[in-house]
Amino acid sequence: MFSFEVMTEDGKARAGNLVTSHGSIKTPSFVSVGTLASVNPLSVDELLNIGTQVIIANAFHLHLQPGEDVINRRGGLHNFMRWDRPLITDSGGFQAFSLGARKEARSGKIASMSNDKKFKGPGVHTEKEKPSISVDEDGIKFLSYIDGSERNYTPERIINIEKKLGADIIMMLDECTSPFHDYRYTKEAMARTQRWSLRALEEFKQASSDGQALFGIVQGGIFKDLRLEGARFLAEQDFSGYAIGGFLGESKKGMHDILDLVMPLLKKDKPRHLLGIGEIDDIFEIVERGIDLFDCIFPTKLAKTGTVFTKEGKRYRIHLLNSAYRYDTRPIDESCKCYTCMNYSKAYIRYLFKIKDSFAVRLASIHNLSFIESLMRQIRVAIMEKRFSELKREWLRDT
């Protein structure tokens, strides 16, 4: 089962309802990142309390470990990780990219999401470096980071892996180019991704999809004509929804410009997922441009360092290790209704960070994810009440 309905539009922002076999998602929605089939360090019960609607895991990593067969024997990813609400699997295109892109990446999405040391090939590796990955018409070949074995990843194969995993929404295999790829290579890669999309669709239709929905992915790097062409092409194909992936530019303005171009070309009645973006100011900008789903590692990544969200903090953050909080018996945010804020003081959580107790990260993660879910609820209500730009102004006034 898969359906999507836009309930209200407020400018280009939309409030919708996405229905899957594992329940519905009110959009626009944050997608919690559970790359390895776990939203570390939280339990699924904690996620349910937080209000998490949907999790994105990664077929590439799960294929390498523990393997789709281990998960399939347990009845699929939902059962394996005991999450019976909506699940997405990404295909691993970005992973091919981050294994492949070069280390000069400095800014934006890449710098924040990838380990510099992993930036090698394809096409941009230095003479000395043997790339751990190669891309050709057939698909992606790479060496497993688990055991060094050679792996072959084709558009058809990833569909079959994702079918075994059984997520509600699955992504096609794409080639996610890096900011160091030039126009010519990016164009070539995008054309190849288009051919892969047709192969993925074909394979997807071969066997019963068990209610799964396949999303196509728009690539094209920072090149506007390529993004336009990619979006136009995908809109003609029979995908259930769209994802926008890859590098969108060095600046946030660059990302906004590309979204401004791409979004009008996608079919309005299909959901759009922006992959890997979602700082708090980004959320307003992307929702304003019609994004329905987005995933971002920031809330849990910041939590690991003791940085927690508050509306008043600089860039919506405060750092709990700050000595100002040593005696602070108040919660992180007095208006927050999350488990952390209802129960624990800043002083206690700060102390747990000081003694490196892992419960600290858990409490901070619960707060940060709850904060985002609460913001998304406010955004959905604002769209339904046609006052999204007012809410945006209220939040972004100081930035």
Least distance CB 45 / a second copy (angstroms): 9
Look up 90 and say whether it is catalytic.
yes
Nearest to 290 by CA among 177, 371, 373, 379: 379
CB of 320 closer than 8 Å to CB of 353? yes
In order of 139, 156, 195, 276, the CA distances from 192 in angstroms are 9, 14, 5, 22
Q: Is 150 buried (19+), middle (13-18) or exposed (0-12) by CB count in 10 A? A: exposed
Residue 347 in the binding site for a second copy (CB under 8 A): yes
Residue 70 in the binding site for a second copy (CB under 8 A): yes
Nearer to a second copy, 111 or 324 (CB): 324
Least distance CB 267 / a second copy (angstroms): 37
CB of 273 closer than 8 Å to CB of 7? no
Residue 337 in the binding site for a second copy (CB under 8 A): no
Binding segment toward a second copy, per CB under 8 A, in 3-11, 33-41, 111-119, 310-318: 33-41
Mask for 211-240, x = binds a second copy (CB under 8 A): ------------------------------
Structure tokens at 176: 């996610």
**DSSP structural state of residue 324:** G
Nearer to a second copy, 76 or 155 (CB): 76
Binding residues among 356-375 for a second copy as defined by CB under 8 A: 357-359, 361-362
In order of 22, 81, 112, the CA distances from 40 in angstroms are 21, 12, 18
CB of 26 closer than 8 Å to CB of 15? yes
Compute the distance between CA of residue 197 and CA of residue 215 in angstroms, rounded to an integer. Answer: 9
Least distance CB 139 / a second copy (angstroms): 25
- Residue 377 amino acid letter: R
Query: Which of these is catalytic: 10, 174, 295, 333?
Result: 295
Nearer to a second copy, 185 or 359 (CB): 359
Phi, psi of 233 (to 5 degrees): -60, -50
Q: What angle do CA 175, 179, 182 make, to 5 degrees?
A: 85
Residues in the chain: 399
Binding segment toward a second copy, per CB under 8 A, in 149-157, 234-242, 354-362, 374-382: 354-362
Residue 49 in the binding site for a second copy (CB under 8 A): no
Look up 269 and say whether it is catalytic.
no
Number of residues that bind a second copy (CB under 8 A): 32
In the list 8, 12, 21, 38, the residue contacting a second copy (rule: CB under 8 A) is 38
Least distance CB 41 / a second copy (angstroms): 4
Least distance CB 161 / a second copy (angstroms): 16
Query: Which of these is catalytic: 10, 90, 174, 282?
Result: 90
- List Cβ neighbours of 278 (8 Å cut-off, separation of 6 or more): 30, 286, 294, 295, 296, 298, 372
Residue 325 in the binding site for a second copy (CB under 8 A): no
Nearer to a second copy, 323 or 335 (CB): 323
Residue 330 in the binding site for a second copy (CB under 8 A): no
Mask for 73-112, x = binds a second copy (CB under 8 A): xx-----xxx------------------------------
Q: What angle do CA 191, 193, 111 make, to 5 degrees?
A: 110
Compute the distance between CA of residue 288 and CA of residue 348 in angstroms, rounded to an integer. Answer: 38
Residue 142 in the binding site for a second copy (CB under 8 A): no
Binding segment toward a second copy, per CB under 8 A, in 190-198, 294-302, 326-334, 378-386: 326-334
In the list 9, 12, 19, 41, the residue contacting a second copy (rule: CB under 8 A) is 41
Compute the distance between CA of residue 210 and CA of residue 178 in angstroms, rounded to an integer. Answer: 34
Compute the distance between CA of residue 338 and CA of residue 345 in angstroms, rounded to an integer. Answer: 12
Least distance CB 323 / a second copy (angstroms): 11
Active site residues per annotation: 90, 295
Binding residues for a second copy (CB under 8 A): 36-38, 40-43, 65-66, 70, 73-74, 80-82, 326-327, 329, 343-345, 347-348, 351-352, 354-355, 357-359, 361-362
